[in-house]
Structure 1
Amino acid sequence: MQKLSHLHDHHRTETEVKLQLFTSKKHRVDMVPSECNAFTTTERGNSRTTRPLNPPGKVRRNRRRSGSQSGVKLQVTAYQTSKEDFDFDLLERNLEKRMKQLTMLTAPITCKSLKAVGALKRTADNIKDPLFRFFEREVNLGARLLQDIRQDLQDVMLICQADKKPTNHHRSMMADLSRGIIPQSWRRYTVPQGITVIQWITDFSLRVKQLQAIVQTTQQGGTKELKNFNVWLGGLFIPEAYITATRQYVAQANSWSLEELYLDVRVLDNAGESMDACSFSVKGLKLQGATCKKNKLQLSTTISTELPVTLLRWIRTDADKVVAGKVTLPVYLNATRSHLLFTLDFDTEGEGSGKDHSFYERGVAIISSDLG
């Protein structure tokens, strides 16, 4: 076999390009050309062709050429092992940046001030209370979710520090967090689709604080204090279940039928006003498209106004007689208005008074949460 004189022999570099040239089954030549002065030669009969190799460090496709008896099979493989091709300082800086972002993101949940949610003490007597059963479900759901989130975030920290191997669950969660999306395993209650994970974590931390206040209330005053607890309705995981529990509570306490009860509403101008045995206080409601003065609605150009403490009272009466002359407003879970919780009837005054369609045309409604 003829010697390839136009291949320059230089020192072997870290990026090796192994050239295997076969002219027959019995002869084989292995060469390592330099990075810059590397050429390949193929033979077809009596002709000879010389062309440069691709720049080293890139992946080349294996080529196979067949000819006559003197056919040539050409195989080129590149190994990229040069440490100069990786900027480890840049990778380390990016990792530190990611860690800082993750720490800031999870601060509302991982902070020491946000303690774990305790459990409500169940007894043979309080298990019969509809309010206790509702709040017990809420507390258990929040406690489990908080524990799972903290465990997930702890795992992510260990993975970023190379102290733990990621699973498919961790990879999926980290991919969602990097894009600002709420991980699927955290979605255990209804939230708007468009919110970011930062908004979700901030809102969830406020929900957890309410659950802690509920547990503390029962520890200090017993289960009976749940009836007087001022509830942030939008901070409950299943707020419509709270309305059902209050209805069952009143019906059970007075031996009334559920169908006989009507939900009345009273917006308090004086926060110190007392409640009766059939009333429950809620906070955080916002009225959109109108204002409420002396428990009467007035159309307004104001986009949204926050209602003071609102009393929801179950009364035993004929609903058809009470509703006459009032406007029925929907109460939505959040600002997207995609989840209806219940409806409330209000008296009206001023512009559009006595005309339901005026309020409906303005889109007047009550929102229990700012999310969305």
Structure 2
Amino acid sequence: MKAGLTRTYMSMPQEMLEYTNAKPYLPLVYNISFLHSVVQERRRFGPIGWNIPYEFNFSDWYASILFCQNHLDSKERIAGVDWVCLRYIFSEVMYGGRVTDDYDKRLLTTFCSFWFTEDTLDESFTFYKGYPQLRYKNKEEYLEEIAKLPDFDDPFVLGLHPNANITYRTNFATDVLDTILSVQPKESGDSGGESRESVVTREVTEMLSKLPDEYNPHEIKARLKEMGALNSLNIFLRQEMDRMQRVIKLVKVTLKELLLAIEGIIIMNENLREALDAIYDAKVPFVWKRGSWESASLGFWYSELLTRNKQFHTWCYKGRPNSFWMSGFFNPQGFITAMKQEVARAHKGWALDAVYLENKVTRYYTPTVSSGPKEGVYVYGLYLDGCSWDRKQDRLVESIPKVIYTEMPMIHIFAINTTDPRPKDVYTCPVYKKPKRTDLNFITPLWIPCKFTADHWILRGIALLCDIK
């Protein structure tokens, strides 16, 4: 923050500060400058800062200042500032014009709602402890006061919990190590140690021994017919099993061909060479990742394959489970939609487009429950990113120091046919498949009881993740 504000005021001409004597002008200039530094600083924290790392730059700040000047000129004969107008312009046009993610837009709107109000004109206003409001006529005075700001910012200034620093440093170290690994020589050396081919052969043989058998399509068709082939969730199961079948076939073919290529029986093509290098580095081969899901390492990916397959096999051959591992679906959005269809069909007169999603956090912490819900589904395997869960009060609370992720209890997701407003003490929490919070990974929002206001958790960047690896 100190460097960002210094850079902003160093590039600011003195004439800009002397533009008008209107009382709100100087505080507004500083508020805009503070917002400009905050939105830039949050980018280094990754998805918990911004879902998408937007390139906010000097032109956004300058256009905001010009609009502020024009706005105050137009308000000379009118007492006060139109704060609603300013908040809208900054959050939806000047800075918001770059924002493409709905939850990032929500974050920007929340910042503006805090820092562009009548209260910010008060001389005692502070953005955070040690970060006061400044109002001077000379640029040098600003630079002197900014130089007194802390050299190392508390993440609270940016709306984040201190655990965000751990996430930032972990991601940075991971990127550095991945870069080092990518430039290592790929060919076997003469050091006398075990060759790359021998290591990969051993790994491939072990994976082949654990790889599940392919599904028998005739058996699956017969089982689904017994369970109700036209049931929405059974249709979803058939689609998921088809995709898992393709993944199992792809893995089996790749592993067998890789063994033959290492033995010299077939030619080592580009895909097999990439798979050999990836397996040696404990990474997921690109050809597998393209047709399945992302994972931090090959071990995590292969374990997930086995667990996903187990869930589908149990569901198909032993009947519908009482709870579902949501992380194990290729298309969790389709799972939610199938559940809504099932509930809508169970109630005469309910139209699917009039059915709304609802949820309730249970107190079950194990995936094993004696029975499923009367309507809807129990899901587990979700993790909170950015905060913790109070088991006694059943609500969101601040993160435990050095604990990055917190496992959520089982959640009951169901559908209702009402338009009643939701309670105010809940936070609309987005759910993502992976830590990368992109539209491709977004599943659905859930409504979670919380301590403090929803705006507090918006600034913290809270989300539910299906996979934290």
The aligned runs of 1:256-271 (5 Å cut-off) are 256-270=350-364
Residue 239 of structure 1 corresponds to which residue in structure 2?
A: 332
RCO comparison, higher one (Cα < 8 Å, 6+)? 2
The aligned runs of 1:348-367 (5 Å cut-off) are 348-349=450-451, 352=452, 355-367=453-465
Residue 165 of structure 1 corresponds to which residue in structure 2?
A: 267
Residue 287 of structure 2 corresponds to which residue in structure 1?
A: 185
Residue 57 of structure 1 corresponds to which residue in structure 2?
A: none
In 2: Cα distance, 1:142 partner to 1:295 partner: 40
Q: CA deviation at 1:209?
A: 2.3
Q: CA deviation at 1:146?
A: 0.9
Specify whether residues 124 and 291 from structure 1 end up closer, same or farther in structure 2 by C-alpha distance, changes over 3 A only: closer
Q: CA deviation at 1:138?
A: 0.7
CA deviations 1:278-302 (Å, max 9, x no partner) are 2201111112303143673131222
In 1: Cα distance, 2:307 partner to 2:334 partner: 19
Q: 1:129 aligns with which of 213, 231, 237?
A: 231
The aligned runs of 1:18-167 (5 Å cut-off) are 94-95=194-195, 98-104=197-203, 107=206, 109-112=207-210, 114-119=212-217, 120-121=220-221, 122-123=224-225, 126-167=228-269
Residue 384 of structure 2 corresponds to which residue in structure 1?
A: 287
SS at match of 1:301: coil
CA deviations 1:212-238 (Å, max 9, x no partner) are 2223324xxxxxx3xx44211111111
Residue 253 of structure 1 corresponds to which residue in structure 2?
A: 346
Alignment of 1:196 onto 2:297: yes
Larger Rg over CA atoms: 1
Q: CA deviation at 1:257?
A: 1.1
Alignment of 1:346 onto 2:346: no
- The code of the aligned residue for 2:351 comes to S
Q: Is the 8 A contact 2:200 2:276 kept in 1?
A: no
Residue 308 of structure 1 corresponds to which residue in structure 2?
A: 409
TM-score by length of 1: 0.63
In 2: Cα distance, 1:102 partner to 1:370 partner: 29
SS at match of 1:111: helix
Q: Is the 8 A contact 1:290 1:364 kept in 2?
A: no
TM-score by length of 2: 0.51
The alignment of Structure 1 onto Structure 2 pairs a total of residues equal to 267
Specify whether residues 160 and 254 from structure 1 end up closer, same or farther in structure 2 by C-alpha distance, changes over 3 A only: same
CA deviations 1:29-54 (Å, max 9, x no partner) are xxxxxxxxxxxxxxxxxxxxxxxxxx
Q: Is the 8 A contact 1:267 1:295 kept in 2?
A: no
Q: Is the 8 A contact 1:331 1:365 kept in 2?
A: yes
Specify whether residues 100 and 241 from structure 1 end up closer, same or farther in structure 2 by C-alpha distance, changes over 3 A only: same
SS at match of 1:360: helix
In 1: Cα distance, 2:247 partner to 2:237 partner: 15
In 1: Cα distance, 2:280 partner to 2:407 partner: 35
Residue 296 of structure 1 corresponds to which residue in structure 2?
A: 394
CA deviations 1:58-93 (Å, max 9, x no partner) are xxxxxxxxxxxxxxxxxxxxxxxxxxxxxx995996
Residue 17 of structure 2 corresponds to which residue in structure 1?
A: none
Q: Is the 8 A contact 1:267 1:294 kept in 2?
A: no
Specify whether residues 163 and 267 from structure 1 end up closer, same or farther in structure 2 by C-alpha distance, changes over 3 A only: same
The aligned runs of 1:326-345 (5 Å cut-off) are 326-338=426-438, 339-345=441-447
Specify whether residues 296 and 244 from structure 1 end up closer, same or farther in structure 2 by C-alpha distance, changes over 3 A only: same
Specify whether residues 234 and 262 from structure 1 end up closer, same or farther in structure 2 by C-alpha distance, changes over 3 A only: same
SS at match of 1:163: coil
Unaligned 5+ runs, structure 2: 1-187
Q: Is the 8 A contact 2:236 2:334 kept in 1?
A: yes
In 2: Cα distance, 1:233 partner to 1:130 partner: 16
Residue 213 of structure 1 corresponds to which residue in structure 2?
A: 314
SS at match of 1:342: strand
Q: CA deviation at 1:252?
A: 1.9
- The code of the aligned residue for 1:262 comes to Y
Q: Which stretch shows the higher mean deviation, 205-214 or 233-242?
A: 205-214
Identity across the alignment (%): 21
Q: CA deviation at 1:185?
A: 2.2
In 2: Cα distance, 1:133 partner to 1:301 partner: 39
CA deviations 1:8-35 (Å, max 9, x no partner) are xxxxxxxxxxxxxxxxxxxxxxxxxxxx
More helix by share: 2
Specify whether residues 93 and 364 from structure 1 end up closer, same or farther in structure 2 by C-alpha distance, changes over 3 A only: closer
Q: What is the root-mean-square deviation in Å for CA atoms of aligned residues?
A: 3.1
Unaligned 5+ runs, structure 1: 1-87, 219-224
In 2: Cα distance, 1:358 partner to 1:105 partner: 49
- The code of the aligned residue for 1:259 comes to D
Q: CA deviation at 1:126?
A: 2.9
